[in-house]
Structure 1
Amino acid sequence: MLKFLCGVLLTLGSVFGPCAQAASVLFLSPGSTNEAFWVSYGQFMQAAATDLGMDLRILYSQRMPELTIAQARTALQGPDRPDYLVFANEQYVAPQILRLAQGSGVKLFMVNASLTDNQLSLLGDRPDRLGSLVPNDEEGGYLMLNELIRQHPPAVPGQSIELLAFSGLKITPSAQLREKGMLRALAEHPQVRLRQLVYSGWTRERAYEQAKMLFRRYPQVSLVWSANDEMAFGAMQAYAETGGRPGVDALFSAFNTSPAALKAIVDGRLSVLLGGHFTLGGWALVELHDIDQGVELNQYGGRDRLIPLLQLIDKAQAKRMLAMGDSPDFGVDFRHLSAKGRPTSYRYPFSLQTLMR
């Protein structure tokens, strides 16, 4: 079993000679190699690593937190330790990883989900925890439902607009925050009635099975909010099987700019799409490169930062992003983003616009 747990490995990057002194980075991806989001996330990280001259490896945990812990244990306590370990606090694995890292000499950086306030108060600050980058998940959930409602025809007097919501995992911070944003928008629109919120574990299959039952139970639903693209596609499949037309009879929304989601926005099956957070790992490597060069992050915006990466993607932007997928470096000069040698007024331009220049 341990061999299996430690064997899910994807090695990326080139081998550097001893004179190159390339900083080594290991990213523990909470996703799998069949998830378009985490694949594009890794590709963007690799583009950054290549540009910045860093040695990057990525391990995928296949959505199993026990595998993440096993991978971290091997990396932090084995003989081949990286200079930097990058990971997400998915399913609240961070405290265990921080305990494993004690005395290892490996520096830690968190992406997508950082320590909760409770975890931070219990664990305190540590010199080996360099910082974190997280996206605007709560705002993303809010923006997505607001845009769905904006696109929907006004409610008939005396009737409500019916909504279904598909969230990820209850114990995943990004799912909790997106759901919180959705509920904030819902409170501002009393004409919209949330019929049911279900947890689909980020998977298309689970959302499909749930949606088949929910569309039978609530045949008047005309808005569908989903916390990622896979769940949106599962719900859309179930809706189409009822004879409904996604994008016409009901409006669907999703997070993540996978090629399939971008194409669905272009052809109108998806009405609302938010994305941009697949870039977080690449931006984290820019900061790690700078730390390796002696840059003090506190002088350039802080060690722990929430970045407004999630934004609404329209059809024109979706077409540009689809075309961008053919560029191995995503058209970004990562070295140019470094804060090294810049005045302390400089702020890292981490945004989707940096890709679209």
Structure 2
Amino acid sequence: MKIKLFAFIVSIFFIYTASAIKITFLVPGKSNEDFWVTAAEFTRAAAVELGFDYEVLYAERDRENMIDLVYKIASETNKPDFVLIVNEKNSAPQMLKILNNNNIKTFLVHVDLTDDQKKVIKYPRSIYKNWIGTVVADNVPAGYQIMNEMYKNIPENLKSKKMFKLIAINGDKETKTSLEREKGLYKFLNENKSIQLLQIIAAEWDRDIAYQKTNHMFDRYKDIDFIWAANDPIALGALKAVYNHQKLPGKNIYIGGLNWSKESLEEIKKGTISTSLGGHFINGACAIAVIFDYLKGIDINSSNYEMKINFFSPIGKKEVDEYFKYLDKSNWNKINFKKYTKFYNKNLKEYKFNPKEILKDYK
């Protein structure tokens, strides 16, 4: 009888412990910003499925507010067990220090440290022991693929043109995400000498700024064939400017972006935007799966507890209608996230985080 009672108490303890694990996602973007809301809500679906308490805090693209939120988290009576942070505006070192000093475990997601930052704070569990791991997107292939998708989809009769003119609009000049996407673009250009980069500018990830700066580019350069955009809001801002200059997007000028935003997919369906890369919004959900395994005693087996994943895939004109269904948030609670953990999938040696596969994996 005593043994049964003890077993019952132990089982209740573990159930309570599992349900008490709290994860906070500190989102750098705005609470009405399509990509970041999508990323936060997909992460929520994974967290709920795997039995975590989950909350989202939005910094509203304000670096000072983001740091204030970290201090607020650290001072709470009911502190989270884990915080997902993003190295937006290169703010991760300060956040890692605050959270580490308050004994809160941290995962870095979406935006990696810069090379200079890594020289100072190294890697997870070195200087900051509560920095448990890093799970981020590899943005170099994304930058390459935006350009590749635009180029390969132009009509055959235009491919004989000797020289194409390109404007590139990046997000900013300092974050790892921007630098990597730009590096991918340059890799493509080094392999394709028939494309001339006229100028690369930054739009601070902002649609309106992209619109204004694209107008200035048309004032400066009359013959533009391609506009490479680091994300969809930039692509949509550039598209608006293109119409001001009597261009025909999808016919005599080609625009490519990244995010799989609904508005961009509508433009792809119409043929006015050539491509949108995406899938990286699952990044936080992947970190949730890794945290789940970590709590089950299955640790990250990557070098220095860092994982860099190529999440990105293009959605083409023929796929748009299909993916509208998969990108509907009401369907995400049907996804079997347990399948992507090593605890539940004993045959899984390496994580397989393919966004197109995961989105289709309904229970």
Runs of at least 5 residues in structure 1 that lack an aligned partner in the other structure: 1-16
Q: Which residues in structure 2 correspond to 1:158-307 (within 5 Å)?
A: 160-298=163-301, 303-307=305-309
Q: CA deviation at 1:183?
A: 1.2
Q: Output the aligned Cα RMSD.
A: 2.0
1:11-48 Cα distance to aligned partner (Å, 9 max, x none): xxxxxx96763310111111112211111111101111
CA contact (8 A) 1:48 1:329 kept: no
Q: CA deviation at 1:74?
A: 1.3
Aligned-partner residue type, residue 280 of structure 1: N
1:262-313 Cα distance to aligned partner (Å, 9 max, x none): 2221221111211110111111111112222222122x78731111111222
CA contact (8 A) 2:143 2:181 kept: yes
Q: Secondary structure of the equivalent of 1:297?
A: coil
1:131-153 Cα distance to aligned partner (Å, 9 max, x none): 11111201110111122222332
**TM-score of the aligned structures, taking structure 2 as reference length:** 0.87
Please give the alpha-carbon distance, in whole angstroms, between the structure 2 residues aligned to 1:301 and 1:328: 36
Please give the alpha-carbon distance, in whole angstroms, between the structure 1 residues aligned to 2:160 and 2:220: 20
Please give the alpha-carbon distance, in whole angstroms, between the structure 2 residues aligned to 1:26 and 1:66: 18
Q: CA deviation at 1:196?
A: 1.3
- Residue equivalent to 1:129: 131
CA contact (8 A) 2:342 2:348 kept: no
Residues 1:264 and 1:92: Cα distance change in structure 2 (over 3 Å): same
- Residue equivalent to 2:161: 156
Residues 1:206 and 1:233: Cα distance change in structure 2 (over 3 Å): same
CA contact (8 A) 1:155 1:191 kept: no
- Residue equivalent to 2:149: 147
- Residue equivalent to 2:94: 96
Please give the alpha-carbon distance, in whole angstroms, between the structure 2 residues aligned to 1:200 and 1:67: 21
Confirm whether residue 81 of structure 1 aligns to residue 101 of structure 2: no
Aligned-partner residue type, residue 77 of structure 2: P
1:168-218 Cα distance to aligned partner (Å, 9 max, x none): 011221111101111111122221111111100001100001111111221
Aligned-partner residue type, residue 58 of structure 1: V
Aligned-partner residue type, residue 129 of structure 2: P
**TM-score of the aligned structures, taking structure 1 as reference length:** 0.89
Residues 1:20 and 1:237: Cα distance change in structure 2 (over 3 Å): same
Deviates more, 1:63-72 or 1:228-237: 63-72
Match of 1:346 among 344, 349, 354: 349
Match of 1:322 among 309, 321, 324: 324
CA contact (8 A) 1:167 1:226 kept: yes
CA contact (8 A) 1:139 1:181 kept: yes
1:87-111 Cα distance to aligned partner (Å, 9 max, x none): 1111111110122123312101011
- Residue equivalent to 1:355: 359
Please give the alpha-carbon distance, in whole angstroms, between the structure 2 residues aligned to 1:309 and 1:325: 15
Please give the alpha-carbon distance, in whole angstroms, between the structure 2 residues aligned to 1:98 and 1:302: 16
Q: Percent identity?
A: 29
Q: Secondary structure of the equivalent of 1:221?
A: coil
Please give the alpha-carbon distance, in whole angstroms, between the structure 2 residues aligned to 1:281 and 1:137: 16
Confirm whether residue 31 of structure 1 aligns to residue 29 of structure 2: yes
Deviates more, 1:313-322 or 1:340-349: 340-349
Structure (1 or 2) with the larger CA radius of gyration: 2
Please give the alpha-carbon distance, in whole angstroms, between the structure 1 residues aligned to 2:329 and 2:63: 33
Please give the alpha-carbon distance, in whole angstroms, between the structure 2 residues aligned to 1:100 and 1:305: 23
CA contact (8 A) 1:65 1:91 kept: yes
Number of matched residues?
338
